[in-house]
Structure 1
Amino acid sequence: MRMSNLHHFTEHHRYCVSREFGLSGLDGRMLGSAYQPMVGAFAISLYRLLFEHVPAESIGYSEAEQQRKLFLTLGIEPNEKGRKFLVEQASMLEAVGLLSTSRIYMAETDDYLYEYELLPPLGPAEFFATQHLTLLLRDKIGKFAVLALREQFWCKEPEEWGRRSLNKENISVPFYDIFQLNTHVIDYELEQALAEVATVRQPAPRVEEPVIGYSDIILRFPRESVNRAHVEKLRFDHAQMGMINYIARKYGLGPQDVSRLLDEDGVFAPDGELILDTLQHKASQHFRQELKRQEKREVAAAKVVSLRSAAEEEQPIAPPEQSVEMEYYVEVPPQFISKCDIHQYNMMLRNEPYTRLLQTFFPGTIPGQLLDIFDNINLNYKLRSEVINVLIHYVMTLAATSGEQRMNRNFVEAIASNMLMKQVNTYEKAVRYIRDQSKVKGKGAGTASASGAGGTRQRTYAKGNRPAKPEIPISVDDGTAGAVSEEEFAAMMKMAADIKASKKKGVTKTQ
């Protein structure tokens, strides 16, 4: 527990306890035999006292109370010496992995609230496999005592079983051989209800990118800047700090870049309110300039060494992810079939910024002309990011499945303006829009193919002012003509003989 000022940790401050486990007999033995020699009996007593704040048959959180209860129960004087002693005991529990302490600032009361999150003790196998804990226990009780303690936690295998281990065969039945689950439909209502009534803490999303905090900005911000007063107001304005972090992640900005953008004119209104559109526009310009610089650096590096082909994958951190109902799922494009399944692809369309989606389509550098198109749609048309993602999916799918070149500014902006006219402002409306467009194109292609297969006529276009050539109907043998009778055949032969005789008479007269 890092505490620079003991006046921030007194008996008047409130606290609560949280845990998501229960203590078994083996856990209790580990606390008494392994952990107590390392941290002392008083620290283990503090751990057990905090554990009892939540009923033994339950998990979750305790009620918020004043820390006076801890001081009185443990017999500690509520003075500077007692506070320092309690901080030392809690710090030892934190060092060995039994406790995690958090301090929460309450803006409405201008005070702190402490949360003590208890962690379960390690089992014997995991504890003695952890080197730093084993070495600390050795320093406290000695090497031979550690070996003896380790032997006490294990019951040896019978000898007759050990000799037959080579012939051991696992005949257990797996889960799906007995039970069949309906995995075709995802019940989002059930998942949401379970999440709402759950008392345990949900696992935090995997975060690899650090969140830019107020301290990261104010330490780099110039003191003589005109916007200094506005930036200082961001300390307790979590909504605007959230918008700043979203823009920073969207355009790959660091704390220094954010501080420089906030120092520019026009970013803040006269009343100190952050102008999101202006900040986003400046961040987009910085992003484009950084891409150009990166291209130049890569070209210069290519003259000396070969470029590295593998790029680092970035894990998205986003505001709470929005789920996608299965009726609004779109098909995975051909270039993504080997990279992700349909669930992952649709979650990416719904939650990722359009800049990151473009990076997944282009493993190298995003073409500048293409980035200009979607930046213009985002900044001028004010389409939401999820709607732009669906537009990118639609255009990329057309380009991949048809032989025509679809990626041009007029085509993309025509679709975007049509979306604006039809008020397509949500993910669901965007999916319905591209489905309707696909149906229209499918009907047009079907009509063209049917007209081409029904006859051999071809359309003749007029050149200049001359009229088009008339279409001459061509007789087609449809198989309905019958055989010629003998009388008709005799009449036809007689007619042919008469024609032949008349021709011979005409030749004789001319001679």
Structure 2
Amino acid sequence: MAGFWMELQAIDSYQVKLNGTFNTIDAKTLTMLYQPLMGTSSLALYQTLAAEVEENRLWTAESRSHMQLLSMLHVGLEELFEARLKLEGLGLLKVFMKDADDTREYVYEILPPLSPAQFFGDGLLNIYLFSQVGEKQFKRLRTFFSDKPLPANDYKEVTRSFQDVFETFKGTAIPPDVNHVASEVFQKSKPTVIQLDKKTFDFEAFYQMLSPQLITREQITPAVEQALVKMHTIYGASAEELVTYLYRALEPSGDIDLEYLRKIVRNGYHIETGRLPALSMKKSAPKEKIPEQSEPASDEEALQIYLENITPFQLLVDIADGARPAETDLKIVEEVMEQQQLPTPVMNVLIEYVLLRLDGKIARNYMMTIAAHWKRKKVQTAKDAMELAWAEHEKYKRLQEETKDKPTNYSRRGNGKKEVLPEWFDKETAEPTDSKMTNKEKQTLEEQVREIKEKLKKR
């Protein structure tokens, strides 16, 4: 998904709010009815966010970074963002955002799913579920969430009202202002029914085609309009086609049979295409393509592209050949990102640089000091970070050579000025790297670049 990193970074913080209370039926509805539509990643995200709110609370106690969420779900930032979008589109999540300096603060409001009755009568979600799981499983699911009704003919209601049970208040004390509540009181959750935007359907053309002798404007109720928008969204039916279908769904009483309308539109789509509609994410923008070059991208360019488009978590996974990074390393990276507020691409370069300098190790103080230096330098892109790291490395190499040639005056240039190195070059007690990369470092970098180029070719 193009540009997802423009809306979400691993260092962005978030809080979770529950929209009321949830029950066991909600959990079953999510797993059995929503999961086939949105996938396991979205379900895991929903359940994880909901679980972060403590029992008998509506809010999380404190903000968290998305880095923690990525680590817990074991996914990349793009997959997390896509899972979030699906929850939003299905009416299971509301997202609120506030800009804060170089980062963003999010509030994720968890919404309950539709009840099974609402879901199967939705006219949108139930159709996509039918297409996804097939007729046999669809009927099984409907049976699972159904039960025999109360035999009303055999019983009559004898429930007493409030006035039948309780006496009217006759006291003299003035009751407190019970309606004034400073905090938010728990309430039963209210599901969000998906409402499609009517602007996506050309109602002006539709009404012009409609014959007033057959169907009047008054017969097109808001419920009928919403059904037409859903049919247009699901099956791509045009205004002209829906007018024809509407005539067929007209009952002798003058009412429009919406169930029959949905059925004939679905059958028409199946006859024309030979398949049922599938729920797929909308591609708002095409993926940015890497400009084709007559020659392959250089190692530096390939690495730069890679570091600009990956999360620190996934970078550590790639470096470890798919293994989960050590919790201590993740904790250090998360702490550095939160304290120094470095952009994700810059953090990626820092991780690469520290690992190369320290022979595959991550040292907290060393990384934190470099991050602070780069923050002061206002480094914002992977390219800037790579250039700065390379410049400092070259400066270090030059001083190393001067140390060998002129041990008594190694720190001064010909103009008498002292060569200045950032303080972090002397912070680490580990053996400094040679002026040239070791064979192991070269091999590691070459393997990474080769893998990056293979990934770029597949885009």
TM over 0.5: no
Relative contact order higher in (CA < 8 Å, ≥ 6 apart): 2
TM-score band, normalised by shorter chain: 0.3 to 0.5
Find the structure with the greater CA-based Rg: 1
